[in-house]
Amino acid sequence: TPDNFVKDIDGGIDRDIFDINEDLGLDLFEGDIRLDGVQVR
């Protein structure tokens, strides 16, 4: 079978949680923590 006969869901890149969030333009606290209003204040 051809070498490229696969569909790679990760597109050849091993992305961690923080890479995914950064690529989406999120600026979450410590990369993946959502703060509530009290914590933001």
Partner 1 sequence: NSIIGENYRWPHTIPYVLEDSLEINAKGVILNAFERYRLKTCIDFKPWTGEANYISVIKGSGCWSSVGNRHVGRQELSIGANCDRIATVQHEFLHALGFWHEQSRSDRDDYVSIVWDRIQSGREHNFNTYSDQLSDSLNVPYDYTSVMHYSKTAFQNGTEPTIVTRISDFEDVIGQRMDFSDYDLLKLNRLYNCSSSLSFMDSCNFELENVCGMIQSSGDSADWQRVSQIPSGPDSDHSNMGQCEGSGFFMHFNSSSVNVGATAVLESRVLYPKRGFQCLQFYVYNSGSESDQLNIYIREYSADSVNSSLTLVEEIKGIPSGNWQLYYVTLKVTNKFRVVFEGRRGSGASLGGLSIDDINLSETQCPHHVWHIRNFTQFIESPNATLYSPPFYSSKGYAFQIHLDLSQLTNVGIYFHLISGANDDQLQWPCPWQQATMTLLDQNPDIRQRMSNQRSITTDPFMTTDNGNYFWDRPSKVGEVALFPNGTEFRRNRGYGTSAFITHERLKSRDFIKGNDVFILLTVEDISHLNSTQVQPIPSMPTTASVEDLCSQIRCENDGICAVRDDKAECRCQAGEDWWYMGERCEKRGSTRDTIVIAASSTAAVFAAMLIVTLVSVYCTKKKYRKRTSSKTEAVTLENKNVY
Binding residues for partner 1 (CB under 8 A): 1-2, 5-10, 12-18, 20-22, 24, 26-36
From CA 13, how far away is CA 16, in angstroms rounded? 10
Q: How far apart are the first and last CA of the chain?
A: 58
Reduced to 3 states, what is the DSSP secondary structure of residue 5? coil
Looking at beta carbons only, is 24 or 41 nearer to partner 1? 24
In the complex, what is the shortest distance from the CB of residue 24 to partner 1, in angstroms, rounded to a whole number? 5
In the complex, what is the shortest distance from the CB of residue 19 to partner 1, in angstroms, rounded to a whole number? 8
Looking at beta carbons only, is 2 or 41 nearer to partner 1? 2
From CA 40, how far away is CA 28, in angstroms rounded? 11
